Amino acid sequence: MSTIVIIGAQWGDEGKGKIVDYLTEKCDYVVRFQGGCNAGHTVVVGNEKYILHLIPSGILHKGKKCFIGNGVVLDPSGLLKEIDTLISKGIEVDNNLYIAKHCHLIMPYHIAIEEQAEKRKKIGTTKKGIGPCYTDKIARNGVRMVDLLYPDILKNKIRANLEIINFLLKNLYGAEILDEEQIFNQYIIYAEKLKKYIVDADVLINKAIDNGKNILFEGAQGTLLDIDHGTYPYVTSSNTIAGGACTGTGVSPKKIDNIIGIVKAYTTRVGEGPFPTEIKDSLGEEIRKKGGEYGATTGRPRRCGWLDLVGLRHAVRVNGFTGIAITKLDILDGIEKLKVCVGYKYGNSILEDFPKELEILQNCTPIYEEIPGWKENTAGIKDYENLPHNAKKYLQFIEDSLKVKIQIISTGQKRDEIIIKESPV
Ligand code: IMP
């Protein structure tokens, strides 16, 4: 038996989908544990490109059991669209998808309120209602998957929540209010379609672990977007770090064997917020184009920058990575000199630890070490020995700095464009 948690080590979009897809081959269950359809995992299988927002990408592998855990916030309309698309492409969903009873639902009023809140204070959210849904969860007003099975409870919850939200929409934001009956009727239709997937996920996942199954916990977003350990308030509203795999599924930390950090060979960020190593000149644009750095969910251009070891050391610390996967190495092909941030300078101080203060993050100057780049093509290389000398040196520098072994290197979008130095499972 082996359990493995996959975590984004930066601000999301590290290419987790591809690594999850590879590791899924060796696993029986794949479990999402946080976030919602703000995430977008792109997986290329043959000539077909799949973008999955909620359903674990394990669904693309025959017979793998895919779970949406209690830590996820689920938008039923998005989920149903995703299910329909998969079925239309011949993917079997019905016997392989399971949703936790105590997973919270995104309601139309979450999206409406976020739309307004973003106008007042711009976080650059995906506007999928993620934050407001988690707000209701923590405030104990949330609608859960299990409520779809009890129409009276569902109705009462919608009524109570709308009383407050409509007051805000009308009186604070001067916006359209929402209709209780319409939402209720819509969610009853969703209930009919989704009830076959609703299960006691914590019970089933723990049983599977006890029965020796291999389980992969698929994180969404990244460490620096974690609600507690990220660049608050420019973060998402869930715990994206490894601990989230436990709270978001009901599995004990004692049962987690491997935690793999996914590190993009450079850094990107989408949305507002501090980004010390952002490249603001034409090289940033070049990397964006070459790396296809546009949001899978919103299509927004991602901000691009150099690798930041201060942020990555923080990620190693709060997640306890047992191994690392480096992605998109090939995007750096042909860049003459690469920079890697090894510390931040703020006033007269040199900082080695990722600061909590937004003010410092926004105004610090990165301290760079320059590493010679490589001219050769790394795209599609499958054998570590075939990597250019300087690419190996770049990887070695990362490994030495983070003191965590690099187990996987991804050298392209396709499933087989990958170097496995040491398989984590
Ligand atoms: P929210 O998750 O929609 O609330 O957005 C909060 C912040 O997280 C914004 O900066 C988003 O751009 C960012 N974000 C959310 N999901 C992702 C993701 O999957 N990849 C990268 N950034 C994300």
Q: Is 10 in the pocket of ligand 1 (CB under 6 A)?
A: no
Q: How far does residue 224's CA lie from ligand 1's centre (Å)?
A: 10
Same-domain status, 224 and 89: yes
Q: 312-368, pLDDT tens digit by residue?
A: 999 999 999 999 999 999 999 999 999 999 999 999 999 999 999 999 999 999 999
Which of 20, 125, 264, 300 should be mutated for ligand 1, with most atoms under 8 A from CB?
Answer: 125
pLDDT for 262: 98
Residue 327 lies in a domain: yes
Question: Angle of helix 151-167 relative to helix 180-194, nearest 10 degrees?
Answer: 140
- For strand 323-327 and strand 258-264, is the pairing parallel, antiparallel, or unpaired? parallel
pLDDT for 297: 78
**What are the phi and psi torsion angles at 52 (to 5°)?**
-110, 135
In the listed set 160, 179, 194, which residue is the last one of a domain according to the structure?
194
Q: Are 325 and 422 in contact (CB under 8 A)?
A: no
Q: Over pLDDT 70: what percentage of the chain?
A: 100
CA distances 180 to 252, 283, 285, Å, are: 39, 50, 46
In the listed set 156, 173, 194, which residue is the last one of a domain according to the structure?
194
pLDDT for 59: 93
Residue 343 is part of which domain span?
263-420
Q: Are 65 and 29 in contact (CB under 8 A)?
A: yes
Domain of residue 78, CATH code: 3.40.440.10
For this structure, is 416 an active site residue?
A: no
Same-domain status, 365 and 404: yes
Q: Which long-range contacts (CB under 8 A, 24 or more apart) does 350-358 make?
A: 351/310, 352/310, 352/313, 353/310, 353/313, 353/314, 354/310, 354/311, 354/313, 354/314, 358/231, 358/232, 358/233, 358/234, 358/274
For this structure, is 21 an active site residue?
A: no
Tokens 């106008």 appear where? 119
Q: 136-176, pLDDT tens digit by residue?
A: 999 999 999 999 999 999 999 999 999 999 999 999 999 99
Same-domain status, 311 and 398: yes
Q: Is 52 in the pocket of ligand 1 (CB under 6 A)?
A: no
The residues near 170 (Cβ < 8 Å, ≥ 6 apart) are 177
Q: Over pLDDT 90: what percentage of the chain?
A: 92
pLDDT for 354: 98
User: Phi/psi zone of residue 255: left (φ > 0), alpha (ψ -120 to 50 degrees), beta?
Assistant: alpha
pTM here is 0.96
Same-domain status, 242 and 359: no
Task: Reply yes or no on whether the pLDDT at 44 is more than 90.
Answer: no
Question: What is the dihedral angle through the alpha carbons of 159, 165, 169, 173, rounded to the nearest 10 degrees?
Answer: 170
Residue 148 CA to its chain's centroid (Å): 26
Residue 127 lies in a domain: yes
Domain of residue 321, CATH code: 3.90.170.10
**What are the phi and psi torsion angles at 4 (to 5°)?**
-140, 135
Same-domain status, 234 and 335: no
Same-domain status, 58 and 207: yes
Same-domain status, 210 and 309: no
H helices of 54-123, in order, are 76-88, 108-120
- Total of domains in the chain: 3
pLDDT for 41: 81
Q: Are 309 and 389 in contact (CB under 8 A)?
A: no
Q: What tokens appear for 120 in the block?
A: 């007042």
Residue 425 lies in a domain: no
pLDDT for 414: 87
Which of 14, 32, 37, 38 should be mutated for ligand 1, with most atoms under 8 A from CB?
Answer: 38
Same-domain status, 64 and 21: yes
pLDDT band at 1 (very low <50, low <70, confident <90, very high): low
CA pair distance 293, 275, nearest whole angstrom: 16
Residue 97 CA to its chain's centroid (Å): 19
CA distances 124 to 78, 119, 127, 313, Å, are: 20, 10, 8, 26
Same-domain status, 204 and 311: no
Domain of residue 174, CATH code: 1.10.300.10
